Structure 1
Amino acid sequence: MKKILFIIVFGFCLFCLSGALYSHDSLEGDLDCKKCHTCDNPSKDDFCLSSCPRLDVAYITEKHKLKEAPDSFVIGEIAELFLPVVFDHKKHASMSEMGTDCATCHHYSPAGEIPPCKECHGGEKNPNNLRQPSLKGAYHRQCLSCHREWSHETNCIVCHLPSPDNIMSAEYDSTDILGISHPKISAPEKKVFHTSYEDGDIVTFYHSEHIERFDLMCVDCHKQENCSYCHYFEKTDHVAKTEKEVHAICNDCHKEDNCNKCHDTKEKPPFDHATTGWKLSKYHKGLECRNCHPTGKRITKMNGNCNSCHSGWNMDNFRHEVTGLYLDEIHSEFDCEDCHTDLKYHNKPSCDNCHDDGKNYKTDPPGHR
């Protein structure tokens, strides 16, 4: 019986692929063949399909947050064979943050609240339109595209529980593979790479520093990654990469830096702001980088003039003691520019506006420390 069923299913698939059911006539004049195929004469032996454009930025109108997502929901019914699928949406959504976010599944989604899948895929099945499958077809296309990528199997029972008596009732099984939380991925403090670069074969990458100090998100570097990146059983860590591929991610921020910025003959110490020519004072040391360097922009050298960040200072709103110098009663009545010429605080204070006897703020401070 199983053999007969297999022959029927196999024959049906061949019939479909031959074009008898999936005719392209309805697409003629509506869609350029090159939109889907990479060759001039696609066939059932070689579809030469191009990658799906659903994840292109052009089709993503709004990025959504994980907190907007429901915990789980029930996906359709497969009559007589399986129980409905209880889809652990929250865990899948949290995993998607490593890659393309919600757009991994919610493609062509308009701005605002994400519509349910059936709003676009709920119509009648049209075998001549492969661009918009039915709801079940869309679910299977979406799920299998990820699951088969790393498992290479089409195992229905991973998602579907067999129906014992054709009664469709869905219950969430916390012991199921989709109900198991992924173990926490601990980020390394640093990674040391040994390269073939002769003038500096060692690259020291401080991972935690890039996340905690430079305020980078995981997806800033880990782009287009999914489960198969770690779980693909045929994957090897020794895949040769071009020099351009190796440096691509780092170049997003370090494009203008020379090789010695990262490469050395020994391990480099963590970042020290003094190496930029600006040693941070004790008041700036406690600040986050983004307090001075805007988020979303490449960090560049800033103007050393205090006025570039601090404007509108006067004796009424500025506590001079934060500099470490408590002004005496006389000097506390002065205006800032009396000592700080042209309000340029990065220059040394001058006593010449009031004193002509050679007084110096270091030897004759206008207060006490």
Structure 2
Amino acid sequence: MLKAISELLDESPGLKGRQIAKELGLDKSQVNSFLHKNQDTFVKNSNHEWCLIRAQHVEIDFGTGWIDEKAFESAIGKLAYQKDANKITFRFGIDCKFLLIALARFLALANQLTAIGKDVVIDTTACPNTHSFFSRNGFFDYLNQSVTCFPERPAMSAAKTYRDNSDTLVELGEIAQPTQNKELVIRLGDRFVEHSSASYFLAAKTVFSELVGNVTDHSESKIPGLAGLQVYRPYNKPKHIQTVISDSGLGIAATLRTTLQSEHPKLYAQFSAETVENDIALVQKAFTSGEVSRFGKGRGLGFKSSREHASKEKVIIVIRQLTFSLALEYSKGQLINVSEDRGLVPITGTHICFDFYVDNF
């Protein structure tokens, strides 16, 4: 309800409780009760007309426990209607633990907020383990120096000091020019094969090489693209290998649209209108057909060509774009489920998470 009312009042301030309820199709008494309980977010005038409180400082609390992509998006939700805030503080509760998929999005968001002039603070005082994990994973190495950190950033990067010393981690590495990417791709592929099977050697190297290569070819962002890997062994659940490839560039749909009319006229005729629905469809097409590319027919986005080899088990690919996320779930090489989340807080670029479940290994 918070998100729905906030978005409505952001666009149409000065509505009464009954008007808000009518617009959203909600019960009037429930809406009025909610508004009165959240007067740190909403304020009413003498005519009982409600507006959003425009905060100059927004605090985001990630709470405790595991933070996956859903928990991350929920926590940062208030940024969607506090666009005028000039300071954003992120806090972490005791035992807060970020999955790699959430870590990549958080790093991109923090750097992007800083790039547009926001004052960003990351406070891990209450959770030393998160601070240590950020250092070990390489988060601080790629975090804009303008971001204020409490406690201060480590004097020595644990990611650089202990690089490749963990059998469950490939520290975040910068995606640069093709010759420099080779080492990163080898590190990702070797660790992947170590936790799956040698039969995936070629497929893994192909997938990582092509996904990393797409960032080099298409990103066009001054914020560096990154890739990393983490192995998770949750209790009573199958082990899974999570790999992220993240960049702050134009995004897949926007990149494809630059040449869509000339290179893919049939797709242009179908998806020429720049809508969220069409962008989602374009992204799904690019990841499932293997023949959709900015430069015409070719390698596409680097997954379908090796999917038959790489997805003998359960595989989930999550593609986060500007304001939506698309999840493709495969089993034994077949696409079995597609799900999407819309209306997300804007984060530019393409943030791909490749989850490979290896319960039989």
TM-score above 0.5, yes or no: no
Q: Indicate the structure with greater strand content.
A: 2
